[in-house]
Amino acid sequence: DFAGDAEFYLPHDLIMRQFQKTIFVLGFRLDVSKENRVKEIARLRFWLRFISSACQRPTVYLFGSRIDQVEYNYTELKMWIEPEFAKIKEQFNDVLDLPQKKVPPLVNCTDVADKNLLALTDDVARAAESIRTCDSSKVPEICTHAAKVVDDAVKHVTAILTKYDANRRCND
């Protein structure tokens, strides 16, 4: 996590290109003024484009943060977020897996018991477990074989060196 600072865009890109199956959890601020909502959604779209350019169809979970600092009502928030979320799903449907069917959860990240935060955590954990147990994410057979060959070679060399060391001590 480099907090989205521009000077870290290159490391983000280099690191992200190393992974085939990835899950991103991307938050956007709910506590922005009505005038800054466009800027906040533009920032969210920037990161979605960045992620989609660096990874092959990653899974991305979105969430609205700082719900505890919002001074306007939930209905107003939904009227802002629902159409934006629909546009995002349409725009990025071919390049990102956005599994959330409805509006992203609105969470209070400072409250570990926040029900929306816990639900999001469970969703991400299930997605990670699915990737971990998926056949296509298992280690290729050639890599498993190579690891065994290296392990056997290390054992063999260790045995030879142990004998050599024992013989040398006897001769000393």
User: Which has more confidence, 18 or 120?
Assistant: 120
pLDDT band at 87 (very low <50, low <70, confident <90, very high): very high
pLDDT of residue 73: 75
| Region of poorest pLDDT, from 64-78, 101-115, 131-145, 152-166 | 131-145
Above 60 in pLDDT, residue 3? no
pTM greater than 0.75 (yes/no): no
- Tracing tokens 């979320």 back to the chain, one arrives at 85
Q: How far is CA 166 from CA 82, 152, 153, 159, in A?
A: 74, 21, 20, 11
Per-residue b or e along 96-130, where b marks 16 or more CB atoms closer than 10 Å to that residue's CB: bebeeeeebbbbbeeeeebebbeebeebbeebeee
Task: Identify the H or E element spanning 29.
Answer: strand 23-29
CB 58 within 8 A of CB 87: no
Above 80 in pLDDT, residue 99? yes
